[in-house]
Structure 1
Amino acid sequence: MAETITRDAYIKLVGQEIGVSSWFLVDQNRIDAFAEVTEDHQFIHVDPERAARETPFGTTIAHGFLSLSLMSAFAYEVLPSIAGTTMSVNYGFDKLRFVSPVRSGARVRGRFILTDATLRAPNELLSRTSVTVEIEGETKPALVADWLGLIFSA
């Protein structure tokens, strides 16, 4: 996890890139495990032979929601903690687009830009972060998102 900073220091980061995670491997084992948890067994995700034959991807691809779900791991690795935080919650997305498929065996990482941080109450900060999930060696990202979080303090 990244450093701990004050809420005021966090707010001053608006407009800046605040972190880029390390690369995470999205292999067939991870895709299969996600398919089991979500009960989404579409062949483009879980059948390498059929996906190679019947899709333009040449192999299986990760579920879009798997790529999205990895954003939490990326964030824990690189986003600063705010001193005095009692709880943070995912507040959703104002924009989310799946731009490119993540082929089995690819590596992805998250790039975070803090675009807004607004106090909604004395102990409640609404954070808006532009996130790009990049695919190693690809020009287009896996996804782009405008991610909202609520950060509560004592």
Structure 2
Amino acid sequence: MSNKPMPLATAISAPFWDGLKAGKILLQQCNSCQQWTFYPRRHCSHCLSHELSWREVDGRGTLYTYTVARVPTLPEFAGPEPQILAVVELEQGVRLNTTLVGLQPEALKVGMALKPVRARVKEDGTVLLRYTSVDVDLIELDEVLKAPPQPSADAGPAKRKIDVKDIEALKALVSETFSDWSSQVLVDQSLINDFAALSGDDYWIHTDPERARKDGPFGGTIAHGALVQVLMSRMQVPLDFEVTGFNNMVNYGSERLRFPSPVPAGSLIHARSRVKSVEVLPRGTQMVMEINVHVVGQERPAVINDLVILYM
């Protein structure tokens, strides 16, 4: 998962969430009228009795209604497939909100038989309940976001070699068009904590997930802007050229550095770039590369860096 909103267990609802962690689906049943209740509460939703017991059910049901969210309900839910939000009516008569998985929108039909899918969403074993058709061979999902494997340094097509003295060829690289996306990097809480310890910036919006969920404007902790900027070095942007023939190359600085949007803890990020300008100066040949870092699936950049590279 990325920094998706997570349910917060209360004293009343904790047995439901603990049950999912243990591989069980638990619902409340009234000891007085025998009716079932969901969402968790202190009293029976039918007779108002406070005599409720938690009992295990198999979770099977039918599709009561659904909607296909082709535009993500939140940026954190962006992905290659649209969200399928649904209400499932269980055999016990209660209804619950969920997400359908393993199904294409055109295969959906109100009243179709569904079964639960346990989706592990956090390393601590937190499980959310998804649903799919009874005909789909799917019981569990691992939705914990993991760092993807990094490509080898020589992966991809061969690059054009351009001599640093060939100024016309370098200037021909200037373009409004960005490169393809780089490899992806996972920005998890552990990495953020390590950077906080290294930099001394341990402000709670970066390092205290519980307080950030309650008091922060982003629903959780976010990465330091400087950390995301530094992580550019880990991303392999697939440039189709390589500058050669220089003695030394230095990152001279940035003409512009902006942090337009946050990177929530647990996000995958990637970058793309373009050559913005090439100029011959007394100290060497200067190239400005505009590098934009995005959270995967989000259109607005998290970092915009006009990086100045000096070839000498």
Q: Report the TM-score, using the length of structure 1 for normalisation.
A: 0.86
Bigger relative contact order (CA 8 A; separation at least 6)? 1
Aligned equivalent of 1:138: 298
Unaligned residue ranges in structure 2 (runs of 5+):
1-152
In terms of fraction of residues, the more strand-rich structure is 1
Change in 2 beyond 3 A, CA 1:91/1:47: same
Q: Do the aligned residues in 2 keep the contact of 1:18 with 1:114 (CA within 8 Å)?
A: no
Aligned partner of residue 285 in structure 2, secondary structure: strand
Q: Report the TM-score, using the length of structure 2 for normalisation.
A: 0.45
Residue of 205, 222, 225 corresponding to 1:61: 222
Matched residues in 2 for 1:4 and 1:88: separation?
A: 18
Residue 107 of structure 1, CA deviation: 0.9
Aligned equivalent of 1:5: 161
Divergent runs of 4+, >4 A:
none
Matched residues in 1 for 2:179 and 2:216: separation?
A: 37
1:7-32, Cα deviation, whole Å (9 max, x unpaired): 33443211153453111111111111
Aligned equivalent of 1:105: 266
Q: Bigger shift: 8-17 or 102-111?
A: 8-17
In terms of fraction of residues, the more helix-rich structure is 1
Q: Do the aligned residues in 1 keep the contact of 2:237 with 2:271 (CA within 8 Å)?
A: no
Matched residues in 2 for 1:72 and 1:41: separation?
A: 23
Structure exhibiting the larger radius of gyration computed from Cα positions: 2
Unaligned residue ranges in structure 1 (runs of 5+):
none
Give the alignment's Cα RMSD to 1 decimal: 2.0
Among all aligned residue pairs of Structure 1 and Structure 2, give the percentage whose two residues are the same amino acid: 35
User: Letter of the aligned partner of 1:151 in structure 2?
Assistant: Y
- Size of the aligned set, in residue pairs, is 150
Aligned equivalent of 2:242: 81
Aligned partner of residue 146 in structure 1, secondary structure: strand
Aligned equivalent of 1:50: 211
Matched residues in 2 for 1:31 and 1:55: separation?
A: 16
Q: Do the aligned residues in 2 keep the contact of 1:4 with 1:81 (CA within 8 Å)?
A: yes
